[in-house]
Structure 1
Amino acid sequence: MKDQLSEAYNLLIDKLEGWFNIIVTNIPNLILAILVLFAAYFVSKYVNKYVSKLMARRVEQNSITNMVGRISAVVVVLAGLFLALGILNLSKTLTSLLAGAGVAGLAIGLALQGTLSNTFAGIVLSFRKKIQIGHWVETNGFSGEVMDINLKDFTLKEADNNIVVIPNKKILENPLKNYTLTTKMRVFLECGVGYESDLEQVEQLTKETICNTFDQIEKPEDVEFYFTEYGSSSINYLCRFWIDAENALEKLRAKSTAIIEIKKAYDKADINIPFPIRTLQFDNKLSFEAQNLEKQFSNN
């Protein structure tokens, strides 16, 4: 028993000595491999910036330049990893990794279907000219400025400064409204005036006010004006006009400005914008007759 224990102990010592000798022998290679990995990491950052600037000179889409820069950085990091493995004499391990990449890739692909779909969707979105960083878009119930398009998600900044992160797959599969693609937007304005108002005066005054408020409207005839209905307390109308705008916020500001100026013009012209009124009538003869009958019955 003692012989067996001593033999096992000697084998363990020999093994540890062998490992120690291998580590000591490969310390220079290990240090060099670590330096190569660090160098590849820092070089990838500069490659990302350089490639992005180079692409920006030839391609107008920021999403494409960012995508190509990130892919270039990943390639540099992978090259550094393979070089480090070669320095450590792990070429066989590298060959085994490449050989098993096919089987592992299939398993990983099945497990990460959602992630891979978002990655490919991000690549497709990056090369779409109708969706670029800085555009004002509306999709999936959110609207805002496109801040970033990467391999994972689609980032929007709404008008209230909130950041919305949407998976690329949903952007690609759902409708998207891009306000920036059109340099003009139509403003819809609904209002009502009192029944005593001169309707022709209302129409002309409204058109002139909007024309004088917005420089892009050359003449009052460019403003569309339609009376729509006899309301409960007013005659309602719909006014439509075009403005130079590329996002919903500019449209909202234009509508607010139009409401303010129209109210001022109506006040000067003594045109009433009525609010709903309920009239209570107390001279109902039927109620008085019913009360008189009740008194008669009670007296009898």
Structure 2
Amino acid sequence: MQLQLEAPAETITSKLEAWWGLFIENIPNLAIALTVLISAFLLSKLVYNITLKLTYKRIKQTSVTKLIARAASVIVVLAGLFLALGALNLGKTLTGLLTGAGISGLVIGLALQGTLSNTISGIVLSFRKNIQLGNWIETNGFAGEVTDINLNYFVLKEADNNVVVIPNKTILENPFKNYSLTTQMRVVIECGVGYDSDLDNVQELTTKTIAENFDQEKIGKEIDFFYTEFGDSSINFITRFWIEGQSGLDRIKAKSKAIVEIKKAFDKADINIPFPIRTLQFETPLAMMKANKEELVYN
């Protein structure tokens, strides 16, 4: 019985002695690996702070700048981990980690395809110069001021103070109109006057009214005026002029003011803006009228 117990004890002792010897032999490698890990950890903090400051100069979205800074710091830590494993001669472990990371990344990417797509789109939007916070844009049937470009969604504040939240992917995949890229906007007014109006006088009065209320010389643009068609009850025209503005609200205000002033000028000059009128003409008397006439003759 004693011999049976001594054999396993000797085996365990020999294993421990071998492990201890291996540990002693690899103390320099362990020291190097530990030094690399600590250095990578400290360096990652430095990279995080530097990346955060540099990115914030270009991107004003805090969430996006922190994401980029964290990604940079994680890359530094992973690089330190791989170097440490290499110093310990754990090449197979390193290969296994890389393989596992690839498979895990594929599985996570498939599971979070929509979320990752919005996140990547948010980062791309943050770097685009033609769309910034404070811009007035129109996209996907909505128009408003850009108040936030987050990692997953895009926030618009409309003129009526409603907040619209749109996925970043939708913004990136669809066209948008940015009114803030230029300081000038063109306003279009469509109207019609009666057939008995003096068309030359209408054109002169319209352009004069717009010029008095909107300084076109300062902008360096001219007023356009064109008659477009003979309508059912009016001769229709279109006039176009320019204003200084960067939002759709500026355009609406200018258009409203122009309509009011043109209407006042037309009323003062006795120029009619007709509403649709339909005249019915009958070639023969109606049956009822004919019957009434025969009844009167009979009586």
> TM-score when scaled to structure 1?
0.66
Report what 1:67 is aligned to: 64
User: In percent, how many aligned pairs have the same letter?
Assistant: 59
Question: Given the superposition, is the C-alpha separation of residues 261 and 117 from structure 1 closer, same or farther in structure 2, using an over 3 Å criterion?
Answer: same
Partner residue of 2:120? Answer: 120
Instruction: Report the Cα distance in structure 2 between the residues aligned to 1:169 and 1:231, rounded to whole angstroms.
Output: 45
User: Could you tell which deviates more after superposition, 66-75 or 281-290?
Assistant: 281-290
Cα distance, 1:266 vs structure 2: 1.4
* Separation of aligned partners in 2, 1:289 and 1:223: 57
2:223 maps to 223
- Taking only aligned residues, the RMSD between alpha carbons, in angstroms, comes to 3.8
Count of aligned pairs:
237
1:139–1:177 CA contact under 8 A, matched in 2: yes
Distance in 2 separating the partners of 1:123 and 1:108:
19
The CA distance in 1 between the partners of 2:51 and 2:212, in whole Å, is 49
Q: Residue 207 of structure 1 contacts residue 221 of structure 1 at CA under 8 Å; is this kept in 2?
A: no
Q: C-alpha separation between the residues in 1 aligned to 2:122 and 2:219?
A: 46
**Correspondences of 1:175-186 after superposition (within 5 Å):** 175-186=175-186
Aligned residues of 1:224 and 1:241 also touching (Cα < 8 A): yes
**Aligned counterparts of 2:196 and 2:51: Cα–Cα separation in 1:** 70
> Is 1:213 the counterpart of 2:210 in the alignment?
no
**Residue ranges of structure 2 left out of the alignment (5+ in a row):** 1-44, 77-93
1:222 is displaced (CA, Å) by 1.8
Aligned-pair CA distance for 1:196: 2.1
Q: Is the 8 A contact 1:208 1:220 kept in 2?
A: no
Distance in 1 separating the partners of 2:97 and 2:239: 68
Q: Does 1:233 align with 2:233?
A: yes
How far has the Cα of 1:118 moved from its partner?
0.8
| Contact in 1 for aligned 2:133/2:149 (Cα 8 Å) | yes
> Contact 1:223/1:240 (CA < 8 Å) preserved in 2?
yes
C-alpha displacement at 1:257, in angstroms? 0.5
The equivalences for 1:122-271 within 5 A come to 122-217=122-217, 222-271=222-271
> Which residue identity is paired with 1:62?
K
Q: Partner amino acid for 2:108?
A: I
Distance 2:221 2:181 in 1: 26
CA distance in 1: counterparts of 2:190 and 2:51, whole angstroms: 52
Question: Unaligned stretches of 5+ in structure 1?
Answer: 1-43, 80-94
State the SS of the aligned residue for 2:181: coil
- CA drift of 1:132 comes to 0.7
Distance 1:189 1:151, change over 3 A: same
Q: Does the 8 Å contact 1:227/1:237 carry over to 2?
A: yes
